[in-house]
Amino acid sequence: MNETIKNIFKETVQCYNQILSKYYPAHNSNGFIERNLTFNFSSCYRKAYPKSIIWQEACLAGREHIDTLVIDEESKAVILIEAKRLQGENKKESLLRDYERITNKDININGLADINSEDYSLYALMIFDVWVSKKTNEKDNRYKRLHEILPKGETNYVEEVSFNKDWDMKETYHLAYILKKLK
């Protein structure tokens, strides 16, 4: 599953590259909403695995929900996805809280779908983005600390996204993920 997620994530980055070569969706704002992370990743997943079931804002047991649920019968995998925009210290804490929540060993997928959950592997996937200043004399600590934020021993990946070369961007944009097998 590690290689599958990495390949789909690379497709997601290519999707962002295509969009951002022609269209900048955040004029007069401070970034892109989280839903775009899960939407574009899910679209790429569905393209690779057309029979997969994908649901946004999926309910778990109790009142808990996750941003996206993927049930992949072909790979026999269930993926719980959360997305975050990493903007400041408070977002870092929020990212870590969400990561802890979706990697909680008490999450039970029994009864969530008409599948035999014993036959499926369960994964937690945290997708996030970060903007980094291009000014060399003003190194943005968010990117330098990015690898400190990522949990040790988990699969993680960071890639820069390209923009239209004619735009004068003062920051670079990076997409990243953390993947953990839960069962």
User: What's the whole-model pTM score?
Assistant: 0.83
The residues near 171 (Cβ < 8 Å, ≥ 6 apart) are: 131, 132, 133, 134, 140
Q: Determine the Cα–Cα distance for residues 83 and 111; give it in Å rounded to an integer.
A: 24
User: What is the model's pLDDT at position 50?
Assistant: 96
Number of other CB atoms surrounding residue 1 within 10 Å = 16
Terminal-to-terminal C-alpha distance of the chain: 12
pLDDT tens sequence across 47-67: 999 999 999 998 876 667 889
Strands 121-133 and 77-86: parallel
Give 80-132 pLDDT, tens digit per residue.
Answer: 999 988 765 567 777 778 888 888 766 666 666 777 777 889 999 999 887 76
